[in-house]
Amino acid sequence: MNDYRDLRIALLGCGSVGSQVARLLLEQGDELAARVGARLRLIGIAVRDIDAPRDVELPRELFTTDAERLVLGADIVIELMGGIEPARSLILRAIEGGADVVTGNKALIAEHGPELAEAAEQVGAQLSYEAAVAGAIPIIRPLRESLAGDHITRVLGIVNGSTNYILDRMDRFGDSAEDAMRVASELGYLEADPTLDVEGYDAAQKATILASIAFHTEVPVDAVHREGITGVTSAQIEAAQHAGYVIKLLAIAERLVAADGTAGVSARVYPALISREHPLAAVHGGKNAVFVEAEAAGELMFYGAGAGGLETASAVLGDVVSAARRHVIGGPGVPGSSHADLAVLPIGEVNTRYQVMLDVRDEPGVLATIAGLLAQHGVSAASVEQSVAADGEAGTARLVIGTHTAREADLAATVEALRANAVVTGVASVLRLEGAR
């Protein structure tokens, strides 16, 4: 057997993900040592309650409630506790002590990523967080390293599995929003606070991380435009199906040029239409996928499990192996990159296509009035379909208007003008159409 040196690994948290990471570190010790060139020795696991039942059986002597002490003796600290504090302070303490840090904590990286990256850079430590976006799917390393020589133009992600599950049930099985949500909840797919999923907060955290890495720019989480799925109705799902689209909650990071010529980025989360021909339309159930468009590489898609203890542990261990190899080889960690420092543009600057559903008076001249309002705001219709209004109200019709690419601010002004016009009895839905131009 090779006489490997030891690297001391401290694990903070032993829940769904941490317990699987601990098991794999212990069970695959010899193989990991051969891959790394050093033995990954788990020196302790910090938890709140040493006697709490665990998903896997682990040596009791590894457990401690003294996380602060544990991190000081480690070469690599794996943080899988979740939340902001004490995770943030423990990571800073670990970095100050010279340790590399691996975390899956999307909330922490979204809120404090730049602070932690700067602390790591100052001491040459490595900060890695592959598991923070889309669970098992390798996407952080591909963006940071594999595509480092390319120019990314757009990232479209289905990065929240529970909302994808809900929308997929509504689309494929005709569930109401309430029924789909109940099933997702019964299956344990939703966060303890489901608003994090259904109102798009979880996806916004991931959008921040993706946008920051893809565009070498700090994108604060509160600069991400966020709309959840709670407003998505069965009528919208049906209209989408009729037009050859599917509704997905998308996290979008995009390079943009504002109306005044400012080069910037947009980060946003909302339920959007995509063509059923688009690869993201085939992402069903609770699965995640990230679709990347780059100038040289073209279109790439990364697909897989966005959550799950074992699946996420795979991404965590990949980061641990990478950090451990650096210890063996020597040299500083790869620093974070925010050199481009682009402006983070507001939602009004986004250019995309739209589908607008209107209830209108069914009488002569109505179409001309609506066409005039669109033209006044510089919005061009690509298609118009008329049917009898869904509620069957006499004398009204439903119009579904698909637009060519328009500026969000212009579209919003158009919708206001439509709402205010007497021929329009209601604006039933406004959805963006993504993945096409």
Binding site for ligand HSE (CB under 6 A): 135, 160-162, 191, 197, 202, 306-307
Q: Which is nearer to ligand HSE, 102 or 294 (CB)?
A: 102
Q: Which among 411, 408, 404 has a CA at the least distance from the CA of 346?
A: 408
Instruction: Based on the shown chain and the rule CB under 6 A, indicate whether residue 17 belongs to the binding site for ligand NDP.
Output: yes
Q: Which does 314 bind (CB under 5 to 8 A by kind): ligand NDP, ligand HSE, none?
A: none
The nearest distance, CB 90 to ligand NDP, in angstroms, is 8
Minimum distance, C-beta of residue 270 to ligand HSE, in the bound complex (Å): 16
Q: Does 289 bind ligand NDP (CB under 6 A)?
A: no
**Cα 87 to Cα 69: distance, rounded to the nearest angstrom:** 14
Q: Which of 112, 7, 104, 143 is nearest to 314 (CA)?
A: 104
Instruction: List, as one string, the DSSP characters of 233-285.
Output: -HHHHHHHHHTTEEEEEEEEEEEEE-TTS-EEEEEEEEEEEEETTSGGGG--T
What's the rounded Cα separation, in Å, for the pair 412 and 360? 18
Q: Which residues of 336-354 are buried (b: 16+ CB within 10 A; e: fewer)?
A: bebeeebebbebebbbbbb
386 in Cβ contact with 361 (< 8 Å):
no
Residue 61: both structure tokens together: 């002597």
Among ligand HSE, ligand NDP, none, what binds residue 197 when CB lies within 5 to 8 Å by partner kind? Answer: ligand HSE
- Candidate ranges 101-109, 323-331, 349-357, 404-412; the one touching ligand NDP (CB under 6 A): 101-109
Q: Report if residue 15 touches ligand NDP, rule: CB under 6 A.
A: yes
Distance CA 401, CA 213 (A): 36
- With a CB cutoff of 8 Å and minimum separation 6, the contacts of 323 are 76, 100, 102, 126, 128, 333
Out of 75, 105, 158, 219, the residue judged to bind ligand NDP by CB under 6 A: 105
Q: Which of 52, 84, 235, 340 binds ligand NDP (CB under 6 A)?
A: 52
Residue list 304-323, contact with ligand NDP (CB under 6 A): 307-309, 312
Contacts of 329 by beta carbon, 8 Å cutoff, 6+ apart: none
Among 9, 14, 345, 356, binds ligand NDP (CB under 6 A): 14
Interface residues for ligand NDP in 32-51 (CB under 6 A)?
46-49
Query: Is residue 157 close enough to count as binding ligand NDP by CB under 6 A?
Result: no
| 161 lies in the site for ligand NDP, by CB under 6 A | no
**Of the candidates 135, 142, 286, 333, which one interacts with ligand NDP according to CB under 6 A?**
135
106 is catalytic: no
138 binds ligand NDP (CB under 6 A): no
What is the token pair recorded at 153?
Answer: 């133009």
Least distance to ligand NDP from the beta carbon of 65, Å? 7
Query: Which of the listed partners (ligand HSE, ligand NDP, none) does 191 bind, with a CB threshold of 5 to 8 Å by partner kind?
Result: ligand HSE
- If phi > 0 it is left, if psi is from -120 to 50 it is alpha, else beta; for residue 232 that is beta
Contact 45, 62 (CB under 8 A): yes
Structure tokens at 115: 């602070």
- 255 touches, from ligand NDP, ligand HSE, none (C-beta below 5 to 8 Å by class): none
187 is an interface residue for ligand NDP by CB under 6 A: no
Concatenating the DSSP letter of every residue in 381-409 gives: EEEEEEEE-TT--TTEEEEEEEE-SEEHH
**Binding positions for ligand NDP, rule: CB under 6 A:** 13-18, 46-49, 52, 67, 80-82, 86, 104-106, 131, 135, 307-309, 312
Positions annotated as catalytic residues are 206
